[in-house]
Structure 1
Amino acid sequence: MKEQLRACILKGIEGCFADGTLTSGVVPAINIEKPAHQEHGDFASNVAMQMAKAERKAPRAIAEIIVNKLAGSSDLIKSLEVAGPGFINFFVKDDAWRMILQDIDQAGEQYGKSKVGAGRKVQVEFVSANPTGPLHIGHGRGAATGDAVASLLLAAGFDVQKEYYINDAGNQMNTLGLSGLLRYKELLGEKIEFPENCYQGGYMKDIAREVITKHGDRFLNVSQEEGVAFFAKFGGDVILKGIDEDLQDFGVRFDNWFSEQSLFDQGKVDSAVKEMQEKGLIYEQDGALWFKTTDYGDDKDRVVVRSNGVTTYFASDIAYHRDKFARGFDWVIDVWGADHHGYVPRLKGVVQGLGRKADDLGIILVQLVALLRDGVPVAMSTRSGEFVTLKEVVDEVGRDAARFFFLMRRSDSQLDFDLELAKRQSADNPVYYVQYAHARIKSIFETARERGVAPDFSGGVNLQLLESADDLALVKKLSLFPETLESAAVNFEPHRITYFLQDLAGEFHSFYNKSRVIIPEEPELTRARLFLLHCAAITLKNALTVLGISAPERM
């Protein structure tokens, strides 16, 4: 609808240039927005205000000229008005709105999707939790966000790959190995003083028991170096397998799992550091190697290789992002915890050092989750190292509710997740409210069939009968989905879809409470309203599906 209006305005402005009522020949980008108040029309444009400087006329005078040119020139526009300092308000013909239903019906599962991505290769890397313990609720929000962003980008026409970066190199793996070895010795009767910096969770004892079952006391008498190396590898594999299982239960599947250790094994870290040195972006000082991140807005330069020759995590990140672009991705998107916000300028600097634009790297920051139960905060962790896991949350409230709740707010704002609300079967629970709208539509169709009203639309539907304000309000809400999806995709904001779903469900429930659908004495109106609800069900399902949430037919 906006594109059609934009074309009408452009044609009108060009007509004004042709007849001399406007003279500059300058056409700005034509912005079209939805007014905050319904009485101000279906759409509004500030194009006259944008043209004022070039035309050397008051914006209202320019708006009047454009409105006079457009009046009666389009099958789309019912009426126009000039408002305020020079806004042009557009009222769209009811028939133009009703035609959208045919588009929805014809598109079916494809409704809402676009080709704005033009097949550009995009990689979305998310979760990437260290394989040193199970996923917690914070990881769940990152998983839902990354998965939804990838799905949105795919629906917007991008070629998307989802990747998990396995942090299987560095001190945390040595700490994991030592934790496992000490728990193993403890279970076999040795008196152990368990260090505070080791992993405290009960899962370490589970790993140690598994080793005892498979290998007995074989590792009691090996060197600490050998024992730590074994438990790091064994424990990491067990934990990573559990992470994958938990993610799959959450509806998240990755196209690729990438090992940090592989960057070292294949010499890619050394190669990346050398390339940056040759470009003059890494320099030596006090025996260490530093990246000139201050050239890219960082508050200080960052160490890449310490004076003792040990690389930092930053060195791995340089090599990893170099590898990503070498694999042919046009756009690389990282999903990080909000505590990594200070890392943004240095990674943007790396990308520019690689000869790319800073915007070729997109970064999504995910804030913390506050867990509640009926409004009362739930303790997220204990001194023993136990914490609320993603699996526990999914097991309690279900995959659909967990994903919806994680996506209800902007990812960079703190989220309150109320476990009891997520389970409640009432309109207070947003995911239930939305899913119930879809299920209710399906039940209306079942009732129609029971009453002998076959919802077969192959013979055509008289859409002119959809003339009430409630009919048209629902149609207008359905029309917003493609634009909402595209905007959510390119801005990495899946919460726009949850907002849209709640608004659409509210519009449907309002419609259903005011309007009869199955009207035996008016079969044609019945068919028209069933067709309207058929399109509403398509839109609800498509929007839920893109978030990885089911659209139940019965509840």
Structure 2
Amino acid sequence: MKDYLAARLRAALSDLKGVPDGFEPELETPAAPEHGDLATNTALRLAGPLGDSPRAVAEDLAERLRADVDPERVASVEVAGPGFINFRFAEMPLQRGLEEILAAGSGYGRTDDHAGETALVEYVSANPTGPLTVGHGRNAVLGDAIANLLAHTGYDVTREYYFNDAGRQMRVLGQSVKARYEALAAETRGEPAPTKTLDGAEGESVEVPASFPDEGYRGAYVTDIARALFDEHGDALLNEEGVEPFQKKAEEVLFAEIEQTLDRLGVDGGIRMDSFFNEQTLYDDGRVWETLDALREAGYVYDEEGATWMETTRTGKEKDTVL
């Protein structure tokens, strides 16, 4: 409607002498509903160039507009105050619009403008170190909505959950589960498990197993995972030197919980992912190193001071970036 009324205003102004070249009318939504659906200050802006009072210019423009606008789209054109022109919309366009929406059903707004094009939407993408938070839920809904909109305009959309199960966070999670497992095993034998105290939230202290990492994951879910492992294996994992079985179990349990959470979000079966992509696979199959070699050959990557650098100053950054 704003574009329509702006066009009608330009048509009315084209018949007036004295309108400056390139003049563009402005339309705004009034703060008070009683002033209409849209309003323009065109008459106030043109009073000087036209050599007349703003009110007189407004009355002249309003009369021209009433004779020109489609009554099925515009119910009234009114002059108010010192020279504002207020427009009220007719109900017919809204009724027709609603009829179109209802008739189209789930296909409303669907186009094939981007048919044959692909789009990758990556969202949520939390490493499986704990249950999803409210923040993750917000991003899940936002990402899914974007993916749906892209699909609605013809894109072949892939919804991707990107994670890394081989980084430091996952190692710390495995260490946390292992420490809780060792404590459960000691408790089952009736032995006191050695503990230590760590700083907690808001200055409170937290007692944890002695082998628990200082930056470990302290949620109750870690103990639940450790208990599940103990129920399955008893104390057979006490001699494990690494954290692989503890990390693997944690990932398995937490990913199952993450998928259940995504299933509960949204409608029509929840939020679905087409791909769960593990960053570690890029290292395992050598693609990271191939990419680095290609960038190095192209002059974008170099080695200095014991580190590998990306020459991001060539792309606008103030400093190069350590890779």
Q: What's the TM-score once normalised by structure 1's chain length? A: 0.43
Q: Are the structure 2 counterparts of residues 72 and 182 from structure 1 closer, same or farther at C-alpha, using a change threshold of 3 Å?
A: same
The one-character-per-residue Cα deviations of 1:60-89 (angstroms, maximum 9, x if unpaired) are 698777655433222222332466898653
Once the 2 structures are TM-superposed, how far is the Cα of residue 153 of structure 1 from its aligned partner?
Answer: 5.3
Q: Are the structure 2 counterparts of residues 10 and 138 from structure 1 closer, same or farther at C-alpha, using a change threshold of 3 Å?
A: closer
Structure 1 counterpart of 2:130: 133
Q: 2:75 aligns with which of 75, 78, 87?
A: 78
Q: 1:209 aligns with which of 192, 208, 227?
A: 227
- Quick one: distance in 1 between partners of 2:59 and 2:298? 58
Q: Comparing 56-65 with 241-250, which one deviates more in the overlay?
A: 56-65
- Quick one: distance in 2 between partners of 1:46 and 1:283? 60
RMSD: 4.2
Structure 1 counterpart of 2:199: none
- Quick one: distance in 2 between partners of 1:276 and 1:64? 68
Structure 1 counterpart of 2:280: 261
Q: Are the structure 2 counterparts of residues 109 and 285 from structure 1 closer, same or farther at C-alpha, using a change threshold of 3 Å?
A: same
Q: 2:251 aligns with which of 233, 236, 245?
A: 236
- Quick one: distance in 2 between partners of 1:116 and 1:27? 37
SS in 2 for 1:246: helix
Once the 2 structures are TM-superposed, how far is the Cα of residue 172 of structure 1 from its aligned partner?
Answer: 1.4
Q: Are the structure 2 counterparts of residues 228 and 92 from structure 1 closer, same or farther at C-alpha, using a change threshold of 3 Å?
A: same
Q: 1:180 aligns with which of 169, 174, 177?
A: 177
Determine if the alignment matches structure 1 residue 38 to structure 2 residue 33: yes
Once the 2 structures are TM-superposed, how far is the Cα of residue 39 of structure 1 from its aligned partner?
Answer: 2.3
Q: What's the TM-score once normalised by structure 2's chain length? A: 0.69
- Quick one: distance in 2 between partners of 1:172 and 1:102? 53
**Letter in structure 1 aligned against 2:243:** V
Q: 1:270 aligns with which of 251, 267, 289?
A: 289
- Quick one: distance in 1 between partners of 2:155 and 2:65? 36
Once the 2 structures are TM-superposed, how far is the Cα of residue 90 of structure 1 from its aligned partner?
Answer: 1.8
Structure 2 counterpart of 1:197: 215
Whether the 8 Å contact between 1:128 and 1:167 is mirrored in structure 2 is no
Structure 1 counterpart of 2:162: 165
Whether the 8 Å contact between 2:19 and 2:50 is mirrored in structure 1 is no
- Quick one: distance in 2 between partners of 1:109 and 1:255? 22
Whether the 8 Å contact between 2:76 and 2:88 is mirrored in structure 1 is yes
Structure 2 counterpart of 1:340: none
Q: Kindly indicate which of the two structures has a greater share of residues assigned to helix.
A: 1
The aligned runs of 1:149-548 (5 Å cut-off) are 149-151=146-148, 160-189=157-186, 191=193, 193-195=210-212, 196-222=214-240, 224=241, 227-250=242-265, 251-278=270-297, 280-293=299-312, 300-304=319-323
Q: 1:9 aligns with which of 3, 6, 17?
A: 6
Q: Are the structure 2 counterparts of residues 144 and 299 from structure 1 closer, same or farther at C-alpha, using a change threshold of 3 Å?
A: farther
Once the 2 structures are TM-superposed, how far is the Cα of residue 261 of structure 1 from its aligned partner?
Answer: 1.0
- Quick one: distance in 1 between partners of 2:276 and 2:43? 52
* Higher-Rg member (1/2): 2
Once the 2 structures are TM-superposed, how far is the Cα of residue 303 of structure 1 from its aligned partner?
Answer: 1.5
Q: Are the structure 2 counterparts of residues 114 and 23 from structure 1 closer, same or farther at C-alpha, using a change threshold of 3 Å?
A: farther
Structure 1 counterpart of 2:198: none
SS in 2 for 1:178: helix
Once the 2 structures are TM-superposed, how far is the Cα of residue 244 of structure 1 from its aligned partner?
Answer: 0.9
SS in 2 for 1:168: coil
Once the 2 structures are TM-superposed, how far is the Cα of residue 185 of structure 1 from its aligned partner?
Answer: 3.3
The aligned runs of 1:114-125 (5 Å cut-off) are 115=111, 118=114, 121-125=118-122
Q: Are the structure 2 counterparts of residues 48 and 20 from structure 1 closer, same or farther at C-alpha, using a change threshold of 3 Å?
A: closer
Whether the 8 Å contact between 2:6 and 2:26 is mirrored in structure 1 is no
The aligned runs of 1:53-92 (5 Å cut-off) are 67=62, 69-75=64-70, 76-81=73-78, 88-92=85-89
Whether the 8 Å contact between 1:180 and 1:204 is mirrored in structure 2 is yes
The one-character-per-residue Cα deviations of 1:259-295 (angstroms, maximum 9, x if unpaired) are 1112212333234434444555444431212335567
Q: Are the structure 2 counterparts of residues 101 and 213 from structure 1 closer, same or farther at C-alpha, using a change threshold of 3 Å?
A: closer
Structure 2 counterpart of 1:450: none
Once the 2 structures are TM-superposed, how far is the Cα of residue 42 of structure 1 from its aligned partner?
Answer: 1.5
**Letter in structure 2 aligned against 1:71:** R
- Quick one: distance in 2 between partners of 1:184 and 1:215? 11
SS in 2 for 1:139: helix
SS in 1 for 2:273: coil
**Letter in structure 1 aligned against 2:215:** N
**Letter in structure 2 aligned against 1:228:** V
Give identity over the alignment, percent: 39
Whether the 8 Å contact between 1:176 and 1:232 is mirrored in structure 2 is yes
The one-character-per-residue Cα deviations of 1:112-146 (angstroms, maximum 9, x if unpaired) are x4659756654432222221122233333333443
Once the 2 structures are TM-superposed, how far is the Cα of residue 98 of structure 1 from its aligned partner?
Answer: 4.1
- Quick one: distance in 1 between partners of 2:42 and 2:158? 39
The one-character-per-residue Cα deviations of 1:188-216 (angstroms, maximum 9, x if unpaired) are 33856233222233323332333344444
SS in 1 for 2:177: helix
Once the 2 structures are TM-superposed, how far is the Cα of residue 152 of structure 1 from its aligned partner?
Answer: 5.3
